[in-house]
Amino acid sequence: MRCVVFGATGYIGGRLVPELARAGHHVRAVARTPAKLAEVPWRDRVEVVRGDVTDDDEVRAAVADQEVVYYLVHSLTRRDFDDIDQHAARVVADAATAAGVRRIVYLGGIIPEHAELSRHLASRAEVGEILRASGVPTVELRAAVIIGSGSASFEMLRYLSERLPAMITPRWVRNRIQPIAVRDVVYYLLRAAELPADVNRPFDIGGPDVLTYLTMMRKYAVVAGLTRRVVLPVPVLTPWLSAQWVNLVTPVPRALAVPLIESLVHEVVCGDHDIAAYIPDPADGLTRCERAMELALTRIRNAEVPTRWSDASTPGAPSDPLPTDPAWSGGSLYEDLRERHTHADPGTLWAVIESIGGENGWYSFPLAWSLRGWIDRVAGGVGLRRGRKDPHRLHAGEALDWWRVEHIDRPHLLRLRAEMRVPGLAWLELGVEPDPGGGSRYRQRAIFQPHGLAGHLYWKAITPFHNAVFGGMARNITGTAEHTPAAAVRSWGAGGSG
């Protein structure tokens, strides 16, 4: 079949696309920034096109000549996400109808019965209704907590359990949940495209276990080899307060934690298993919760996480490309440029550069980086805890702590775009050039385009720290390269991208 996937750069989309291609379908992957898919392992097996779900012309071009539309888009952390979601759903529904698409597949959330829905769940339900009313047969798969390496729900569960051996929790940790493994979500999505034309309805999908969030934390502790978690639920912690705590303790930022927690305030359990009449359970059965956790942890420990929640661009984060001409910003483009010669060969220096961030750190003034990360978290930003998928290899478009990889020209240039909260736009470039006299030359450039007076004052305020932060980074990166054995660099390259 000819399948078009909206949300191909997201957590689920990035796992579904290669499975569709492996099943023999022709896949058109839609992305607002196609460059984010330039280095994915399955790039040469699919067609990649640019498309924004709110742009009528781009959506019409994306669905042209397609049989199946997969809609895996949700503006989760935008303040006006419900308006954006409804508008985007209507654009896609109208385009699919006009193009003669025969099937829409949408992934939504389980809707609790007889409960006042949060804005997040209400928006997911409204999108499903818009798509089903389009005239194109639509399958809406509704899932609760998705357990898988890199999922926001699993990261929240994992970090809460690992970092807090004892915790005071809100009452909702005793609500029942029916989690589902990400492999089973992809299994249902893959087969939903083949359902008969008269099927136009939602289906609840979930794993075989119904348990509380408290039980999930304790099961995770067992799977991860932790001591038993001590939990004291109290009635005074609201979803909003809980989200602040999640924001501080886990990599999941507050803007994402709020809708996740609001979805857990009510019991989210499948109301039926009607899907089995159309799609049989996997041959080995649906994945039990403990097994899903084991699989997720194994992938994390082996650096084999194919997609993460942070793969999707952070709403509200800067998206403009780096201005190469200072006049582009009215002549107010600040720059901190540093160059150093090193005896290390270019390949070794590049290997150190591409391994920056995450567990490897930023090679200068760790306290300052940590403090700035905490300030960003308190302000509602992403902070430093998003980490990286692979310890030694980066790809364009992926998140790297509070940066996003904007451009990578291996083994010469790495450009990062800041997604922390600052009064302007910021980039960091790290480059390598062979030195004619032997060794290599390291080039590091920090660029800042201020927004208003606050932006200018911000740059002036942090300038006194540049020598410690940026100067230390240049010295330590080149020093690390000089002391890194060639055998270690070869082993990093053999690890692949996961």
pLDDT of residue 166: 66
CA separation, residue 23 to residues 2, 99, 101, 187 (Å):
12, 24, 20, 11
Cβ–Cβ < 8 Å for 342, 439 = yes
Which two tokens mark 389? 């998928």
pLDDT of residue 70: 97
Cβ–Cβ < 8 Å for 48, 34 = yes
- The Cα 393–Cα 496 span in angstroms is 7
pLDDT tens digits for 481-497?
Answer: 998 886 666 666 544 33
* pLDDT surpassing 90 at residue 187: yes
- Mean pLDDT of the chain, nearest integer: 84
pLDDT tens digits for 311-365?
Answer: 665 444 444 445 544 333 344 678 899 999 999 999 999 999 999 988 888 888 7
pLDDT of residue 101: 96
pLDDT band at residue 286 using 50, 70 and 90 as cut-offs: very high
pLDDT of residue 62: 96
* pLDDT surpassing 70 at residue 309: no
The residue ranges of DSSP E strands in 60-125, in sequence order, are: 68-71, 103-109
pLDDT of residue 319: 46
Which two tokens mark 365? 């003034």
Percent of the chain exceeding pLDDT 70 equals 83
- pTM confidence score: 0.71
pLDDT of residue 305: 76
* pLDDT surpassing 80 at residue 471: yes
Q: Please give the residue that has the higher pLDDT: either 127 or 372.
A: 127
pLDDT tens digits for 28-78?
Answer: 999 988 888 887 889 999 999 999 999 999 999 999 999 999 999 886 656
pLDDT mean over 289-311: 81
pLDDT tens digits for 230-245?
Answer: 777 776 656 666 666 6
* pLDDT surpassing 80 at residue 379: no
pLDDT of residue 89: 94
pLDDT tens digits for 246-283?
Answer: 766 666 766 667 767 777 777 889 989 999 999 999 99
Omega of the bond prior to 411 within 30 degrees of 0, cis? Answer: yes
* pLDDT surpassing 90 at residue 147: yes
65: left (phi over 0), alpha (psi -120 to 50) or beta: left
Nearest residue to 187 (alpha-carbon basis) of 268, 280, 270: 280
pLDDT of residue 81: 73
Q: Is the CA virtual torsion 8, 10, 16, 18 positive or negative?
A: positive
pLDDT of residue 318: 47
Element (H, E) at 389: none
- The Cα 497–Cα 15 span in angstroms is 15
Cβ–Cβ < 8 Å for 8, 14 = yes
pLDDT of residue 217: 86
Cβ–Cβ < 8 Å for 181, 147 = yes
The residue ranges of DSSP E strands in 322-394, in sequence order, are: 334-342
User: Which range, 184-193, 432-441, 465-474, has the best average confidence (pLDDT)?
Assistant: 184-193
Which two tokens mark 412? 């010469």
* pLDDT surpassing 90 at residue 451: no
pLDDT band at residue 416 using 50, 70 and 90 as cut-offs: very high
- The Cα 374–Cα 121 span in angstroms is 30
* pLDDT surpassing 50 at residue 395: yes
